[in-house]
A and B are shown apart, each in its own frame.
Chain A
């Protein structure tokens, strides 16, 4: 077997199948590869010659028997954030900008691309998900592209923009009375009772592999080098775990030189079980009831929480959390410095980066990457206050001149 599922707890190995836990110990199944064989065959040159999508790393993704997807998912920009870097005092600061991912403007497009390909491999006609919004958008869109039936389960209180951005596709959206953890429990039960591929339940080992491509792309875009530090938003803890896995796999197959990349996690204070575990140096996650406007990070019982916290510790990184108002401030800071409009989760990641810099936990001379995972248009209401005092003028130059002269004078007064 060149690729197989292995239990992260007991090491039991099995061939690919639509299951998420080990039947012996109920631990999580994880896709592993024959790294020695890959080291002999994989090369930077071969990868660079391929189309600029996440599937250029196909050898390090689950094999798709029905054909590697040809949709242009991934390979999002890695932006040298010079202006933001000046504010934070980190000159070599980069933004991995998944807010412009295809087709639905979040990193979830990556995981769904893998999951739906495997759903087809396993013979499913119907797919679904438990989602805080971004995953819902992506499953709805990509299932539509592939002609698969889909059912999307979301908490009842999601941002309206995210609900609309699911409901517009050929899908069935169901709002569940409860929080994300309630939806997740329901979806797990659904996957046991019906023939449906719930991407983040029974396809989870394959689905989560898609997140590795964030790490692969960061390394390639830095010139086949690992960063010194990476700051990642955490909900269930899967993305940060998979970025770590990606960095380690690149070393194993010889695509980058070994280096300790310090991994930092970001959560909203109103739902910060992973951050709390790191900061309290505790052994286990303590679940919480989420209370935050940052819906996309509002997972109170994170499936990969323990793993994420241990990865952060082992990398000599750290985790932090910020208030909802700090998250909103993070959205505007990124927009005003780099012209990138991110959603609330991105605001959390930005503000946590600022906090870590102020605490002296980041090496300010290091190559630092902030992972921005979603688009601001989906949580635009959070910054709608920015439109409260906009000028309205008649369509005459004199009106324009009057307003801009007044503004210039006001700006001048404010500076003296």
Chain B
């Protein structure tokens, strides 16, 4: 079983509007690198020059912010769901 990736709102444009994308990977970084193969330019829009997730984007693994886990090294398990969403909200 693979991990489901979902890009919401304006981030959906990065994956050509696709709803749910299945990826086989052991951690978030590896998954994003695999997605890059199908969606050209994805990584450069998601990551900053230093290779970390851009400050305007939040990535959640099963509803938990990966910044509170191991960031891009956060491990994935079969059946996990990863959601990418704008960080500019709330307050």
Contact = CB atoms under 8 A, between A and B. Distances in A.
Interface of A: 9, 19-21, 23, 25-28, 130, 178, 180-182, 184-185, 187-189, 191-192, 200-201, 204, 208, 235-238, 284-287, 289, 299-304, 306
Contacts of B67: 286-287, 301
Interface stretch (B5-13, B21-29, B30-38, B74-82): B5-13
Contacts of A238: 91
- Give the one of B11, B86, B89 with max A CB within 10 A: B89
A9 B57 CA distance: 13
Contacts of B85: 185, 188-189
Contacts, number: 88
A28 B45 CA distance: 15
B10 A21 contact: yes
4 closest Cβ pairs, A-B complex: A236-B91, A184-B90, A238-B91, A192-B9
A235 B90 CA distance: 10
B19 to A, nearest CB: 12
B25 to A, nearest CB: 22
B89 A303 contact: yes
Given A26-B56, A182-B63, A287-B65, A201 B90 contact: yes
A200 B65 CA distance: 19
Contacts of A180: 90
The binding surface of chain B is classed by DSSP as mixed
A27 B87 contact: no
Contacts of A20: 86, 88-89
A188 B68 contact: no
22 contacts: A21-B10, A23-B10, A26-B45, A26-B54, A28-B88, A180-B90, A181-B90, A182-B63, A185-B63, A187-B89, A189-B83, A191-B9, A204-B88, A235-B91, A237-B91, A284-B55, A286-B67, A287-B67, A302-B91, A303-B87, A303-B88, A303-B90
B56 A21 contact: yes
A29 to B, nearest CB: 8
Given A28-B56, A299-B90, A299-B91, A287 B68 contact: yes
B22 to A, nearest CB: 20
A192 B88 contact: no
Nearest to A234: B91
A282 B9 CA distance: 30
Nearest to B13: A23
B4 interface: no
Nearest to A23: B10
- Give the one of B10, B54, B86, B90 with max A CB within 10 A: B90
Nearest to A182: B63
Contact of B90 (A9, A26, A200, A284): A200
A306 B63 CA distance: 23
A303 B90 CA distance: 7
Contacts of B63: 178, 182, 185
Contacts of B68: 287, 289, 300
Contacts of A181: 65, 90
A204 B65 CA distance: 21
A289 B68 CA distance: 8
